[in-house]
A and B are shown apart, each in its own frame.
Chain A
Amino acid sequence: MKYFTRLRVRRIYEWRGAALGFNRKLQTYEYGSLSIRVEGLPHSTVISAGQHILIEGDDDDNPYVARVVRLFADESGAQKKAVVQWYVRVSEVPPGKLKLLGRNPHPQEVFFYEGRSCEDEVNAESVLRPVQVRHLDAAAPFPVSEDGDIFYVKLSWDSRTFRPVDPSLLDASRPPCRSLPLSPPSSPPAAAPAPGGPARRALPTPDPAVMRGAMATPASSRKPGAEAESLHSLTKLSASKCLSAKRRSATCRTPGVRKKLQLSSPDDPAALRDDVLQQLLEAELEKGRRSAAAASPSEPLRITHSLTPLRRTSRTPGRHDDFPLTPCSVRRRESQSETDSPPAGDDLSRTSTKRKEVQTGTEPVLEVLDEEEEKNCALRIPRRQSALKVSSRIRKQLNLLDDRLSSDEDEEEEEFVPSRKELQSDEEEDDEGDEEEDEELKVKKSRRSSSSAASRTKQKTSARTPRKAGPKTPRTHHHATPSIPNRAQPARRPGNILEEARARLHVSAVPESLPCREQEFQDIYSFVESKVLDGTGGCMYVSGVPGTGKTATVQEVMRCLQHAAEQDEIPPFVFIQINGMKMTDPHQAYAQILQKLTGQKATADHAAALLEKRFSHPAPRKETTVLLVDELDLLWTRKQNVMYNLFDWPTRRHARLVVLAIANTMDLPERILINRVASRLGLTRMSFQPYSFKQLQQIVTSRLNKLKAFEDDALQIVSRKVAALSGDARRCLDICRRATEICERSAAQLVGMSHVMQALDEMFSSPYIAAIRSASTQEQLFLRAVIAEFRRLGLEEATFQQVLVQHQALCRVEGLQPVGVSEGLAACRRLGACRLLLLEPSRLGVLQRVRLNVSQDDVLFALKAD
């Protein structure tokens, strides 16, 4: 296999030249470049800061792409490290998020990574080789190139949205003499605090905002000592680990914040020109949320990010910001809109604008970058026109925010989704969480609704067409997920109470909450949450008979946790679920996990190897993975290696994998798992008891949600009946649904006892007796003959020949013409097809043995009644 062959190549890493300096605070030696020599080959490759490189990762076919920001060795000089700016490959973006792109990604496309969840410090010895990364305009087509070593970057990715990326950030690898065509030529004084330090990347820094806002932006030059603080945040995990750990433990509220602090570096400058209003809201929210938290290094940092450009320019590079936020918000906003207003119209004059206009540095670039921006530009103008308008709008937004809590969200959401997709790239907001995102959506929506619908659609199409024409390569076929065509007419909405009740009672309807499973919910929630917070792994086994809400509860837990992660209450994590029933072979589990994790397609064996590698090696970027394995028992194989792996991975040190396994049988680990698998599964078990009748009643009532469609007694009888039989909530809901149908047909208003009883009868009564009664005369005679023969023989089995004799005798008694063999056989087979009789294969003819599939009493009862 491929990865074996590559492992044989040994690379030798050496520093080129002496150390450039010693960073006393961090106890590191800075180096200019690193040479990589492949053993046995004469020439060596030199890596220096600013270059793009490939870094060894989980997947050998797709190594990570990054750019070197800094090279250094730790105190002893033994460990070679590099600080990098990551790029995300298409395969690393979760497949679900790729949709946001709105087009098919180019296979060689990478995204400038702006998320915070990745360590940016890597072992220099994991560097494979240099590679080229070229920036392209968002609208530009991808050049046709077969060279696998050239990557193209158009957008940035912060694990939630795609945005156009500032080329000035990317072009670090170019020689310093080549100035950037799009960025403003002058570099602001604030941006050049380079006091003699070796400016490794002496390219024209785009603007003060980049410099300031980044503080840790990899693109900006690193001066050991001069910006110790920001460096500090960059290299946390290395030599300075102990230092920072102290601070962190002292200050951080949650690991989410901690993470952000460590990795705050690649903050997109685009975020700086963000909506003022947005920032305000954000700041307020922030403040509210963190009012309890003590002032910490992390907090000012966050706030600086959300500050307005004006303030930034006037500030010195010191990063502690004690500026009270709320009182001055209006003033700032006004000044902001003032400064912003001049460049709103003329893009050309912008190159010569004063430094004061911080945002313009990035904006022209972005607008050229992404033509979708144009649309946005039009929307942005009014915002800049007058401060009054803005403030009034803010008020409106705030109202909207309040309204939102009470108003029905669904419709707005539905309306909004398509346009949101298109605008993904210009959502320059530094996502702080779902709430804010929603706010922004609202903002945009309200703005957009002001423009006419027609022009919107026009823009939409014009913006989209060139993209579609672009990278349609046959390689992207596997991304083509098919879908059922849309319906010609919209689905009708429920018309009356009964229809409404039926819609709510459908099993697929997602209830607001899951009643009667609070305890289980709590347990699972705290289990997963603790694992995510600690960054450890673990297994949990959930069992229960079908229809007791196992999967629903776990999914509800994950929804809540994901929401929490979006709110930055817990670190982000990846949630994937597989279902033993939804795969054709247990080994497919590997392939499905891999695909859901990375979007890669691989055979089961290859996927297993890749996953094994992923979960057993420390990787630079790793989020906790929560894996839900439904219908675990179907993953059983003779050697149980699938289960073994699933439960073994969480125990690995670097895996950060949480496995939630669901199956029906409580004692599955004892029954079918061999010891080494059962041992790894551990003792964290939970079993879902079948619902009691009270719980079932509560479930139905909560679903109906004060909709008066059922008589109380009717509900009670359904729940009692179901609880006595199986405790399956699905059954209960189905019966209620059927009862509403019966009720509707009988033109009653309220589902009563009679309707429910009829529904229960339909679903639970055995059809055998009715079937015997409706059978033909000869069939009935044959059944009687069977019973007679059984009595004669004293056995529960007879051959057809024996029964036939009885049958013929019975015919004579009844005064009918005795049947021939073929007629008798025909009757027998009809009964066999209905499974009233159990027959041997018919090729045995008269010798086939006959058995009853119903009790003799039932047969006699059914026959006697007529």
Chain B
Amino acid sequence: MSKRKAKDAHLPIGECINQVHQILRKRFCHQQLPDKPEGVEAQHKHLAELLKRTAVHGESNSVLIVGPRGSGKTMLLRSVLRELSQETEVQKNLLQVHLNGLLQTDDRIALKEITRQLQLENVVGDRVFGSFAENLTFLLDALKKGDRSSSRPVLFVLDEFDLFACHKNQTLLYNLFDVAQSAQAPVAVVGLTCRLDVLELLEKRVKSRFSHRQIHLLSKLTFPQYLERVRDQLSLPDDFLDGKFAQEWNAAVTMLCLSRVSVARPSITPADLLDASRLCLADANANMLHGLSILELCLIIAMKHLNDVYEGEPFNLQMVHNEFKKFLQRKSNSMYNFEQPVIMKAFEHLQQLELIRPADGASAKTQREFQLMRLMLDHGQIMEALQKYPQCPTDVKQWAMSAFA
């Protein structure tokens, strides 16, 4: 589809496409920071001032950045840090410690990580770090020895802050906040979380020590603003190697955003986007139904009917088999009555695919035929899958529509 552009003398089209790939990948996959955070200027300013005061004045602070997933919490923090690091006064002073609640799953690991990132371990030489208790006193001593005016401020970034609140006794949080509230080495504790109720997770004495500053990141974008954002992200920069290509690309993106008219060009088309969104939103469970054998599909239909009849009560293999047999007795022109072991096998396969799941734990005591199961699929999903199922026998389809068909 790039034939038409090949005539242009600027750059071979392959090169251009490569460039575009690179730029867009950097933006979307490598978390390249935007030049300027948009829509969050107030929050950005607040956070920047706060961290700057810590770095410059040695004032201890604690703050939480709260916002739903993907609302740009990390982006905000990183852009603030990037901005601060351009000031030498800050850059030379600020020590940074980054922790993630998913990685530092308990205080012991977190403490070790803090010690490592602060490069304090060289103090003890090659001595292997002792117990957890030793580690804690070690770190607290280190922080206690500092004072507001002389020691370098430390920035603690706690990603997934809510997970730190699940640690035993919240020892780490207590101590960090306590340092922030007492005349020790200046620290700034920045927590990132998506939980709005995070303060309720904190124990009362931890909560009291937290400064209760929260920066909320709630996207208030309207549709045109979204559109703008998408266009910005997709557009090529002005200093792109091949100017003409870039212009055409950007025009295409603008077109795309504005009119959604298909254009036959070497650029993104709305169809591509729709395809991609379909891929993203695809229902894995429903897709799985396409790969099932007709017998398994029949069993699922039987389960659906059972669900209808018994209003979501769990069922067992025997009930399903009976339902299936009823169907066979009524219309057995396309289906063949399978043996019990075959049915059993199919049933187990469904269980492996987690399309059905045992109702009350895995009770090994009951016989497999009588173990109660629940269907993990919605009716809509089953019907949709049946429509797309290749060469589905019509009587099965009819049966799916109605139990008595």
Contacts and interface: CB of A to CB of B under 8 A. Distances in A.
A820 B385 CA distance: 12
A746 interface: no
A484 B145 contact: yes
Interface in A477-534: 477, 480-492, 494, 499, 502-503, 506-510
Given A774-B220, A821-B381, A822-B284, A492 B57 contact: yes
B58 interface: yes
Contacts of B146: 483-484
Given A492-B56, A770-B216, A833-B195, A822 B281 contact: yes
A108 to B, nearest CB: 22
Contacts of B184: 508
A664 B214 contact: no
B149 A846 contact: no
Contact of B60 (A488, A506, A834): A506
Contact of A489 (B89, B95, B212): B89
B205 A734 contact: no
Nearest to B123: A482
Interface in B46-62: 49, 56-60
A377 to B, nearest CB: 32
A338 interface: no
B68 A771 contact: yes
A592 B137 contact: yes
Contact of A484 (B68, B185, B219, B380): B185
Contacts of A768: 196
A581 B178 contact: yes
Contacts of A846: 376-378
Interface string A720-763: 00000010101100110110010001000000000000000011
Contacts of A583: 133, 136-137
Nearest to B201: A835
* Number of chain B interface residues as a range: 35 or more
Given A488-B92, A853-B197, A845 B376 contact: yes
A499 B175 contact: no
Contacts of A582: 136-137, 140, 171, 174-175, 178
B117 interface: no
Contacts of B60: 506, 508
A631 B204 CA distance: 12
A771 B196 contact: yes
Nearest to B127: A477
A459 B133 CA distance: 41
Contacts of B218: 767, 770-771, 773-774
Nearest to A509: B183
A182 interface: no
B124 interface: yes
B93 A487 contact: yes
Given A581-B169, A774-B218, A846-B376, A503 B59 contact: yes
Contacts of B211: 734, 737
Nearest to A490: B149
Given A547-B208, A770-B218, A847-B376, A584 B133 contact: yes
B76 interface: no
B151 interface: yes
A118 interface: no
Interface residues of A, number: 73
Contact of A835 (B131, B153, B171, B196): B196
B233 interface: no
A412 interface: no
A26 interface: no
Nearest to B131: A584
B152 A821 contact: no
A488 B377 CA distance: 62
Contacts of B381: 820-821
A801 B209 CA distance: 42
Nearest to B307: A801
A708 interface: no
Contacts of B123: 480-482
Interface string A205-243: 000000000000000000000000000000000000000
A129 B378 CA distance: 87
A767 B376 CA distance: 34
B331 interface: no
A488 B92 CA distance: 6
A609 interface: no
B282 interface: yes
B152 A763 contact: no
A847 B120 CA distance: 50
A588 B133 contact: yes
Nearest to B145: A483
A368 interface: no
21 contacts: A484-B95, A484-B118, A484-B151, A485-B151, A486-B150, A487-B58, A489-B93, A502-B59, A508-B182, A545-B208, A547-B208, A581-B175, A585-B133, A588-B133, A664-B205, A763-B212, A774-B219, A775-B68, A820-B286, A822-B283, A833-B195
Interface of B: 45, 49, 56-60, 66, 68-69, 89, 92-93, 95, 107-108, 118, 120, 123-125, 127, 131-133, 136-138, 140-143, 145-146, 148-154, 169, 171, 174-175, 178, 180-186, 194-197, 204-205, 207-209, 211-214, 216, 218-220, 281-286, 312, 374, 376-378, 380-381, 384
